[in-house]
A and B are shown apart, each in its own frame.
Chain A
Amino acid sequence: MIKVENLTKRYAGTTAIRDLSFEVGQGEIMGFLGPNGAGKSTTMRILAGFMPPTSGRASVAGFDVFSQSLQARAHLGYMPENVPLYNDMRVTEYLNYRAALKGVPHRRVKERVGDVQELCGLKDVEKRLIATLSKGYRQRVGLADALVAEPDLLILDEPTIGLDPNQIRQVRELIKNLGKQHTILLSTHILPEVEMTCSRVIIVHKGRIEACDTPENLLGQIRQAGGVVVEAKTGSDNGVEELKKISGVRDVSSDVAGDWKTFSLRVESGVDVREEIYRLATARHWTLRELSQRRATLEDVFVEITHTEVSA
């Protein structure tokens, strides 16, 4: 559905993406994951035919996004980051306009717009001015717009950014359902999102692909090198020093809340250090209130790969 070969985009001064190559097959939900500034939006804008790449090629549904831009655009529904909309139009009016612009046959516009409004939960606000909509509803209008012409492929740039947790859950549910009929490429910098919705993940960092696999496989790679969480009252001990001495512990960070300290330990693959920690705690007379092995998440994969702070 999407084929990207050696795609590079340079802006004046910065190289946003370097030599990107990947493919997205029919029916996949592909997650495009990376911190801010990784080049996700740039890639998506090129795929959506908004701007040409500096070098390399990309095609959508078999059409080159640059030389056959019009056909390529006709096959995809794109939702830009932050969903820019005409504030002076009403919801239904806007979707009617977009449907006509995307070549939905005249007699089908009403039906299609009705359908996507239903699907995206816009029925209550269909007569409202877009300027008066909340962020969540704007996001839904953007999604309805992407869907209105029944495209084979959906490209969604940060579809859940700026939403409250409830809305995020609804949008995720919606995307999952859409994935049954559409191929989807969605970008995000929020990790649980891909874990929950995507069938495959591409991790980009500083314009390069760092990993591309299913979420399960990525987790598999890192499972052994998981972590341990310890919450304890250590009295006069610092805690970090003592824990670091245990063999197999790579790294310890601590968080203090009153008397209680929470330690996060990163440990070497295949080592279970919990028994050692228990012994240490009894020997030093610590009061232990939590001692648990943490299931590795994509976040660990991500941190491992990018070595940067990740905000969730």
Chain B
Amino acid sequence: MRKFFTLLGREVRSYFYSPIAYIVLVFFLLVCGVNFYFQITYMNQRPMAYTVEEAFFNNVFFWFAFVLIFPLITMRVFAEEFKLGTIEPLLTAPVRDWQVVLSKFFGALIFYLVLWAPTALYFLFFERVTHQTAAGSWGAYWGSYLLLLLLGSFYISIGCFASVLTKNQIIAAIISFAVITMLFFLGLIQFIMLDVSSSMRDVLGYFSAIEHMGTLSRGIIDTRPIVFYTSMTIVMLVLTHQAFQTRKWRL
């Protein structure tokens, strides 16, 4: 366990050593800040049937920033080690492959959660300043942030998988961006093409991040997305582990 935490520590620190991390951080906070500001301004001008919290998590700004950050967070995790050759000292130390894979995954996840932490302050300040509630209930916060965690885990595991396939970070980023965008739009098909069959719609619904956010951000905790995203994350991590084992020395 100590070795895992040693690896994890190095992963997390390496984010804060890299300029890309700060660019992502600034970009993300900027988009989120602008998003929050716009939503409030918009809602100030007319009566609305939803809360600030719902508005914040269910709009195009949010999703735009959301889909974009994963390739940036995960592209380096394996690709950089392959490129620099540091994978060699890493794997000739007495550590197991799965420890390496999990440390990469959780390292990225921790950085991702750090990105989100400041947004919780938005709601806090909103409530302090306006003396109004920002969300329908505490459950709405739990729901939104739970989905961020679940969806984040899944997309990060996709990013890790993409990064294990190549030593070129840009290619890793493009692969994960393509896959994540595709999955994201898969969930949109049911809104666009109205003539899909209902069973097809159910299947596509599983991929519909937007729909899940719609329900969860209202505080309605649905177990299906929880099970779905958790199992998909595990599947992706197993695949990453497999790919890592066969690829690591084919530099």
- Residues of A that sit less than 8 Å from B by CB: 45, 48-51, 70-71, 73-74, 76, 78, 80, 82, 84-89, 97-98, 100-103, 106, 142, 145
Q: Output the nearest chain B residue to A74 by Cβ-Cβ distance.
A: B94
Extra pairs beyond A82-B85, A85-B89 (7, CB < 8 Å) = A84-B85, A97-B6, A100-B2, A101-B3, A101-B93, A103-B3, A103-B94
Q: Does B191 belong to the interface (CB within 8 Å)? A: no
Q: Which 7 A-B pairs have the closest CB atoms?
A: A84-B85, A51-B249, A88-B17, A100-B6, A74-B94, A48-B92, A73-B94
User: Does A84 contact B17, Cβ atoms closer than 8 Å?
Assistant: no
User: Does B93 contact A86, Cβ atoms closer than 8 Å?
Assistant: no
Closest Cβ of chain A to B232, distance in Å, is 30
Contacts of A85 in B (CB 8 A): 86, 89
**How far does the alpha carbon of A89 sit from the alpha carbon of B12 in the complex, in Å?**
12
Contacts of B17 in A (CB 8 A): 88-89
B contacts with A: majority SS? helix
Chain B residues bordering chain A, tally (CB within 8 A): 23
Q: Does B164 belong to the interface (CB within 8 Å)? A: no
Contacts of B7 in A (CB 8 A): 101
**How far does the alpha carbon of A50 sit from the alpha carbon of B10 in the complex, in Å?**
21
Closest Cβ of chain A to B4, distance in Å, is 10
User: Does B85 contact A88, Cβ atoms closer than 8 Å?
Assistant: no
**How far does the alpha carbon of A120 sit from the alpha carbon of B95 in the complex, in Å?**
25
Q: Report which of B2, B86, B92, B94 forms a contact with A50, defined as CB distance below 8 A.
A: B92
Contacts of A78 in B (CB 8 A): 89, 92
Closest Cβ of chain A to B68, distance in Å, is 24
Contacts A45-B249, A97-B10, A101-B6 hold; do A80 and B85 have CB atoms under 8 A apart? yes
User: Does A102 contact B93, Cβ atoms closer than 8 Å?
Assistant: yes
Contacts of A76 in B (CB 8 A): 92
Closest Cβ of chain A to B137, distance in Å, is 43
Q: Which of A49, A82, A86 has the most CB of B within 10 A?
A: A86
Contacts A97-B10, A101-B6 hold; do A70 and B88 have CB atoms under 8 A apart? no
